């Protein structure tokens, strides 16, 4: 009888600890607007350097240590960015270290930074232009957390390499896709 009671007490303690553990990992859906501009290293293609818009959407996860406000968030996003025939479509995987300053349970501010990996699926049909299949950027962002369920943020992606390369007989032209993201996330 004593063993059954001990096992029952351990089971109850584990079930009570499960909700506390579940608070560390939160899942949600993230989406928003990409505003990108091609940064060209040559002036003859200036018309491609205009701003363009796209969107992104997908699942996200966030792990936060409650007392110190430090955590990591990551997402798996379908993302569109670029302009016209140079529009990229693919999977984006941002992984950010996030520091949150909370003002109670209803409002908090966060700063985020980390790498962003983009895997381009769309081939472009432009002569002498090669689109990179993988791209890496550095994210710098800030935002607001509302009511523990909603996050609104702004992120700037600094590209670490070229998105496109033009190959011709005279010179090589390269372009970086610099992107601002405005996002909203709903946490479950």
Q: Model-level pTM?
A: 0.78
pLDDT of res. 21: 45
| Mean pLDDT of the region 38-54 | 66
- Does the pLDDT at position 17 exceed 50? no
Alpha-carbon Rg for the chain, nearest whole angstrom, is 22
Question: Which tops the pLDDT comparison, 143 or 51?
Answer: 143
pLDDT of res. 44: 52
pLDDT of res. 130: 73
Ranges of H-type helices in the chain: 2-22
pLDDT tens, residue by residue, 80-109: 987 777 788 999 999 999 999 988 778 999
Domains of the chain: 25-187 (2.40.160.20)
DSSP for 148-186, written as a single string: TTEEEEEEEEEESS-SEEEE-SS-EEEEEEEEEEEEEEE
Calculate the average pLDDT of the chain. Answer: 81
Q: How far is CA 34 from CA 69, 72, 87, 142, 183, in A?
A: 27, 22, 12, 15, 9
pLDDT tens, residue by residue, 132-144: 889 999 999 999 9
| Mean pLDDT of the region 25-31 | 96
- Does the pLDDT at position 121 exceed 80? yes
The residue to which tokens 């983009």 are assigned: 118
């Amino acid at each position: 009888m004593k063993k059954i009671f001990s096992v029952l007490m351990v089971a109850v303690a584990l079930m009570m600890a499960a909700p506390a553990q579940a608070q560390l990992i939160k899942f949600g859906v993230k989406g928003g607007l990409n505003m990108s501009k091609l940064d060209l290293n040559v002036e003859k293609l200036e018309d491609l350097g205009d701003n363009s818009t796209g969107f992104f959407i997908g699942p996200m996860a966030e792990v936060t240590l409650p007392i110190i406000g430090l955590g990591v968030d990551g997402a798996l996003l379908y993302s569109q960015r670029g302009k016209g025939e140079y529009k990229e479509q693919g999977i984006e995987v941002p992984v950010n270290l996030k520091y949150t300053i909370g003002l109670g349970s209803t409002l908090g501010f966060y700063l985020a930074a980390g790498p962003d990996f983009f895997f381009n699926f769309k081939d472009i049909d432009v002569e002498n232009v090669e689109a990179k299949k993988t791209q890496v950027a550095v994210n710098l962002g800030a935002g607001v957390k509302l009511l523990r369920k909603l996050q609104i943020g702004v992120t700037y992606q600094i590209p670490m390499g070229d998105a496109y390369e033009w190959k011709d007989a005279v010179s090589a032209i390269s372009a970086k896709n610099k992107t601002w993201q405005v996002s909203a996330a709903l946490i479950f």
